[in-house]
Amino acid sequence: MNARIVDIETVDLRFPTSRELDGSDAMNPAPDYSAAYVVLHTDHPEVPEAHGFTFTCGRGNELVVAAIRVVAERARGMAVQEIADDLGGFARHLAADSQLRWLGPDKGVLHLATAAVVNAGWDLAGRLAGKPVWKLLADMPPEAIVDLVDWRYLRDELSPGAALDLLKRAEPGRAEREAELLHRGYPAYTTSAGWLGYDDAKLRRLCEQAVADGWDSIKLKVGADLADDQRRCAIAREVIGPDRKLMIDANQTLGVDEAINWHRGLAEYDIHWFEEPTSPDDVLGHAAIQRAIGPTRVATGEHGQNAVLFKQFLQAGALGICQLDACRLAGVNEAVAVLLLSAARGVPVCPHAGGVGLCELVQHLSIFDYIAVSGSLENRMVEYVDHLHEHFLDPVRVREAHYLPPQRPGYSAEIHRESLRRFSFPDGAEWA
């Protein structure tokens, strides 16, 4: 019963996705989807390992791996049951080194690394409890959920007491909503059709395939050339018809006024949301864009550095769709904070996914959101990209454009050993 974290293993894992231009967009012409990966080894006989990672686009992944080693070292020797019993304390402990704090605070490489280690802690807690993380969360009493969050910089917007009230109001319907999701799954949309590197013929074919596969919301990458985007949106809208949702994503390439003009050039294609129109740091810029482009909703969050930023986006009315990222935020705890802040303002959370394993993670967060936080599916859906799932022990299961809740204990983060070896950079067989 005194099992502890006894060793820390890291892997610099990179998939050569740039060879096919999968994942290409206006800001990221040729990413190599990568994961800075961590295994916490324990001396617990039944839970000898817990897994976590953060996603990156390739170069620089080694910096995040190095940062993970620094952060995870703070977990060495900790008792696994104590981590599981106080996941709020665990997350705060990992972030509490005052010298390291200078490197952020709470953003960039060190925050990405903290996400990987916090998420590994949640994987550990799920395995110990024999529950997937969404279920671990959804079974927590409201008081315990509130304790997960670091409220220091958030309470001027949402007090812990108000968060508790919100969670208590959602408590009565938890069992029904869980049963509903187990039966039907959580709604998804697809980005697989619309990468910027695909030509028109491939775009058309993939849109047709998406419709045939039952998707009713698809997303296109835009932002490099407006005339190209008009032609591509016309193709997509023609194929999907007037009733399905079409979203666009500029991946931050535009200035504020430029984004407003860009939307004007595409508005005739009935855009449901306009994602990452400009700098992800620009709360007031997004607020100006949101005022200009309604009823199209501004969507952003995959580069949302921390909960303090999301707090301001919500306060300023600067986003209509909150796209938190499971690894950009410092793991489950900070994601829970953003779910609570969003629910309090009535803003739907549609998490960013894709990359390496982001689908595997965020499904847990959205399922929890529906069961225990917002209690709503209105305008909510999780991004789905059909890349790289084959490397996971517990890959997402998508049926009729819905995520089926994962059943294995933990956070669905574990990658097959063979994949860890083969795609290890720079010495794995794929790179050597």
Residues that bind its own copies (CB under 8 A): 27-32, 56-60, 62-64, 66-67, 70, 97-112, 151-153, 155-156, 252, 255-257, 278-285, 288, 303, 305-306, 308-309, 311-312, 315-316
Q: What is the DSSP letter of 410?
A: B
Residues 93 and 107: their CA atoms lie apart, in Å, by: 16
For residues 111 and 402, which CB has a smaller minimum distance to its own copies in the complex?
A: 111
Least distance in angstroms from the C-beta of 328 to its own copies = 9
Any idea what the Cα angle at residue 230 is, between residues 380 and 321, rounded to 5°? 20
For residues 107 and 272, which CB has a smaller minimum distance to its own copies in the complex?
A: 107
Question: Per the structure block, which two tokens stand in for 87?
Answer: 């996941």
Least distance in angstroms from the C-beta of 305 to its own copies = 7
For residues 1 and 102, which CB has a smaller minimum distance to its own copies in the complex?
A: 102
Least distance in angstroms from the C-beta of 89 to its own copies = 19
Least distance in angstroms from the C-beta of 6 to its own copies = 23
Residue 139, amino acid: D
For residues 59 and 168, which CB has a smaller minimum distance to its own copies in the complex?
A: 59
Question: Per the structure block, which two tokens stand in for 20?
Answer: 């096919």
Residues 422 and 13: their CA atoms lie apart, in Å, by: 9
Least distance in angstroms from the C-beta of 299 to its own copies = 17
- Secondary structure in 3-state letters for 105-117: CCCHHHHHHHHHH
CB atoms within 10 A of CB 400: 12
For residues 30 and 144, which CB has a smaller minimum distance to its own copies in the complex?
A: 30
Q: What is the DSSP letter of 214?
A: T
Least distance in angstroms from the C-beta of 352 to its own copies = 12
For residues 209 and 312, which CB has a smaller minimum distance to its own copies in the complex?
A: 312
Q: Which of 51, 107, 219, 221 is catalytic?
A: 221
Residues 78 and 384: their CA atoms lie apart, in Å, by: 36
Beta strands in 97-216 (DSSP E): 186-194
Q: Which of 311, 352, 387, 402 is catalytic?
A: 352
Whether residue 221 lies in the annotated active site = yes
Whether residue 135 lies in the annotated active site = no
Residues 6+ apart with CB under 8 A from 319: 286, 290, 297, 298, 299, 300, 301, 313, 347
338, 348 contact by CB (below 8 A): no
Three-state DSSP at 287 gives helix
Indicate which residues carry an active-site annotation. Answer: 221, 352
